[in-house]
């Protein structure tokens, strides 16, 4: 019997690059320009900025980014300037939980329809309505990591 070895890249089964190696960032200027024409995913205001999601979410294939590294442009959402500053001012997971938005789900959906204004408006309205229902369900409970099921260590 002949033995053989199946090669396995260092990044196999990992959602982050092998130590010391960075994956090339995927940019999409057309998508970012289009995002900036949409209403804010949280409050519907305009103008907006393209706000990148920094934390990892393996359920969507979103890897964590390191210090000084920006996520791929597919992981961006339209946010009003004030909300964009708030997003980066503290714990990003708690920021999104506070507003009841699943940012990776919305970003993936928007990237899938990039350039289609009508579908984007529907995605944003649906996310806002879902968020209103989620936030309205438990107004007496304070938003924190425990009540939102958020893993704070990342």
pLDDT given for residue 154 in this prediction:
40
What's the pLDDT tens digit per position in 54-83?
Answer: 999 999 989 887 777 889 999 999 999 999
Answer whether residue 152 shows pLDDT above 60.
Answer: no
Q: What is the mean pLDDT of the chain?
A: 84
pLDDT given for residue 23 in this prediction:
73
Answer yes or no: are the C-beta atoms of 154 and 65 closer than 8 Å: no
Alpha helices (H) in the chain, listed in sequence order: 29-35, 81-89, 92-99, 103-112, 117-137, 145-148
pTM here is 0.76
């Amino acid at each position: 019997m002949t033995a053989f070895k199946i090669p396995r890249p260092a990044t196999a089964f990992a959602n982050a690059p092998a130590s010391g190696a960075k994956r090339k960032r995927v940019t999409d200027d057309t998508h970012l320009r289009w995002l900036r024409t949409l209403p804010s995913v949280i409050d519907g205001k305009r103008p907006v900025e393209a706000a990148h999601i920094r934390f990892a979410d393996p359920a969507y294939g979103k890897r964590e980014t390191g210090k000084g590294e920006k996520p791929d442009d597919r992981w961006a959402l339209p946010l009003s300037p004030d909300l964009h500053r708030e997003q980066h001012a503290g714990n990003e997971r708690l920021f999104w939980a506070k507003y009841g938005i699943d940012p990776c789900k919305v970003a993936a959906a928007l990237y899938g329809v990039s350039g289609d204004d009508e579908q984007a408006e529907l995605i944003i309205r649906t996310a806002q309505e879902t968020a209103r229902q989620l936030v309205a369900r438990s107004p007496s409970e304070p938003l924190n990591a425990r009540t939102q099921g958020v893993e704070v260590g990342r």
